[in-house]
Amino acid sequence: MTILTTQISLLLLLLLSITTFYKSLCSNHTVVGCNEKDRETLLTFKQGINDTLGRILTWSTEIDCCAWEGVHCDNITGRVTKLDLNGKSNFDNEPFLKGEMNLCILELEFLSYLDLSLNEFDVIRFPSIQHNITHSSNLFYLDLSPFRYHDHGPLHMDNLGWLSPHSSLKYLDLSGIHLHKETNWLQIVNTLPSLLELQLSHCNLNNFPSVEYLNLSLLVTLDLSLNNFTSHLPDGFFNLTKDLTYLDLSQSNIYGEIPSSLLNLQNLRDLYLSYNQLQESVPKEIGQLAHIQQLDLSENQLQGSIPSTLGNLSSLNYLSIGSNNFSGEISNLHFSKLSSKSFRLDLSYNSFSGSIPHSWKNLEYLFYINLWSNRLSGEVLVNLSDWRRLQFMNLGENEFSGTIPLNIPQYLEVFIY
Ligand SMILES: *[C@@H]1O[C@H](CO)[C@@H](O)[C@H](O)[C@H]1NC(C)=O
Ligand SMILES: *[C@@H]1O[C@H](CO)[C@@H](O)[C@H](O)[C@H]1NC(C)=O
Ligand SMILES: *[C@@H]1O[C@H](CO)[C@@H](O)[C@H](O)[C@H]1NC(C)=O
Ligand SMILES: *[C@@H]1O[C@H](CO)[C@@H](O)[C@H](O)[C@H]1NC(C)=O
Ligand SMILES: *[C@@H]1O[C@H](CO)[C@@H](O)[C@H](O)[C@H]1NC(C)=O
Ligand SMILES: *[C@@H]1O[C@H](CO)[C@@H](O)[C@H](O)[C@H]1NC(C)=O
């Protein structure tokens, strides 16, 4: 009897230890599997994709979806948090994703990061109403900008209403997607209270909606270049934001004056307004934007003299105001406080007169200077050894006199006549 009990208890003990051993073996290797619902969503997204070059071959049902190319899961919950399928790494051999970009992917409840940029999708598909987004969105990064804008006809979206639930967005890039039917783009952007960076370049935007009651106070970067606004900048446009450091409105068919409310953008570092139809003179307040590094006003119809206060800007490393109707003397433009280690200056194709300021010989970090086609005169007293960093100098099509510096180093491109 006792022998039997002992045998049974031994057997039980053995069984117990085997299961424990097995359990601990398993839990060591436990990776929380991909969430079933998330996997379904990813598979629906995959259905539309034409992956001729096998970029997402790993997206197969035999493999846990957390291990699929570009998919990142929370390692405790197994929920998909990030999808990164941008085409950047593929520039050499072009294995871009094509076909349909199905935005059902936004139904991933815990998605915080989505990058589908630099691919060649042919069409964007919006999920039907029954797949409406009802969860509160964690998405903070969204980049859908295609690689080639026009190869298959541009991608387009009729409206941006689908963005509104994504109120955690900090970074939004829809550059290259045509939005010309969306007239309320700015109001919708305004419903994204966390937005820091907005890239809507080359979107065929064609209107500035009324900016009343809007507040984009957190925005730091705004790129609206390459659109077709065919209008003035609304008066209060520069009142919308305060912290903007980067503003690109170039090649956007903007008319009229540069509003003096520009002065509100006290943190601005880069301002690009080139290739528009801007007129009248430059507001003198521009010289009070103390942090400006790059200022491009070229290819407009701006006129009058340029405010000498521009010469006070100490961080400037690029000033391009070529191809306008500016006039007046440049001799009152002193860049005496420059602290940048490289300086490019383009005043070409204007009607500036006067002589080259003597103080410019102190522009130790002058890298590029283009004064082509103005009415500048006087003696060229340039001593090239003052400008040791210089790579390019064009003084041609002016009325200069005097001696031309000899022994120009070979690396230097110089045009004097
Ligand atoms: C997938 O893309 C290739 C290359 O662009 C194209 O030849 C093919 O017709 C596409 N297939 C489908 C189903 O769209
Ligand atoms: C889970 O993820 C966190 C943060 O991504 C990481 O620090 C941690 O090491 C991961 N844990 C395991 C068990 O992989
Ligand atoms: C969800 O459906 C409602 C009602 O049809 C609609 O107003 C809303 O824009 C939809 N939201 C999204 C994200 O599609
Ligand atoms: C804009 O919003 C910010 C923060 O949300 C707030 O501090 C500021 O007062 C608002 N500005 C206006 C003009 O409503
Ligand atoms: C810009 O818009 C105007 C007016 O709507 C139109 O006539 C013009 O063709 C557009 N330009 C481009 C480049 O699309
Ligand atoms: C813009 O703000 C300035 C003060 O910062 C104010 O004087 C001006 O009236 C505002 N303009 C508009 C159109 O709101």
* pLDDT for residue 27: 41
User: Whose alpha carbon is nearest atom 1 of ligand 1?
Assistant: 50
Handedness of CA 378, 383, 389, 391 (dihedral sign): positive
* pLDDT for residue 1: 46
Q: Which of 103, 107, 108, 129 to mutate to test the pocket of ligand 3 (most atoms within 8 A of CB)?
A: 129
User: Whose alpha carbon is nearest atom 13 of ligand 3?
Assistant: 162
* Ligand 1: lining residues by beta carbon, under 6 Å: 50, 52, 98-99
pTM of the model: 0.87
Beta carbon of 217 within 6 Å of any ligand 4 atom: yes
**Phi, psi torsion values for 308, nearest 5 degrees:** -65, -15
**Phi, psi torsion values for 102, nearest 5 degrees:** -90, 115
Q: Which residues of the chain have pLDDT under 70?
A: 1-32, 89-95, 129-134, 149-152, 381, 403-407, 417
User: Whose alpha carbon is nearest atom 1 of ligand 3?
Assistant: 132
DSSP letter string, 139-190: --EEE---SSSSTTS--B-S--GGGTT-TT--EEE-TTSB-TT-TTHHHHHT
Cβ-based neighbour number of residue 12 at 10 Å: 10
Dist. CA 236 → ligand 4 center (Å): 14
Dist. CA 254 → ligand 5 center (Å): 12
Dist. CA 74 → ligand 2 center (Å): 8
Beta carbon of 228 within 6 Å of any ligand 5 atom: yes
* pLDDT for residue 26: 39
User: Whose alpha carbon is nearest atom 5 of ligand 3?
Assistant: 129
Q: Any idea what DSSP says for residue 339?
A: -
* pLDDT for residue 25: 41
Dist. CA 56 → ligand 2 center (Å): 24
Alpha carbon distance 83, 68 (integer Å): 10
Alpha carbon distance 110, 25 (integer Å): 30
Dist. CA 82 → ligand 2 center (Å): 14
Beta carbon of 230 within 6 Å of any ligand 4 atom: no
User: Whose alpha carbon is nearest atom 13 of ligand 4?
Assistant: 215
Atom of ligand 1 nearest to the CA of 120: 5
* pLDDT for residue 19: 46
Atom of ligand 1 nearest to the CA of 50: 1
Atom of ligand 1 nearest to the CA of 122: 14
* pLDDT for residue 22: 44
Beta carbon of 215 within 6 Å of any ligand 4 atom: yes
Between vectors from CA 209 to CA 200 and to CA 191, what angle results, nearest 5°? 65
Structure-token pair, residue 271: 């301002």
**Phi, psi torsion values for 80, nearest 5 degrees:** -75, 125
Dist. CA 9 → ligand 1 center (Å): 67
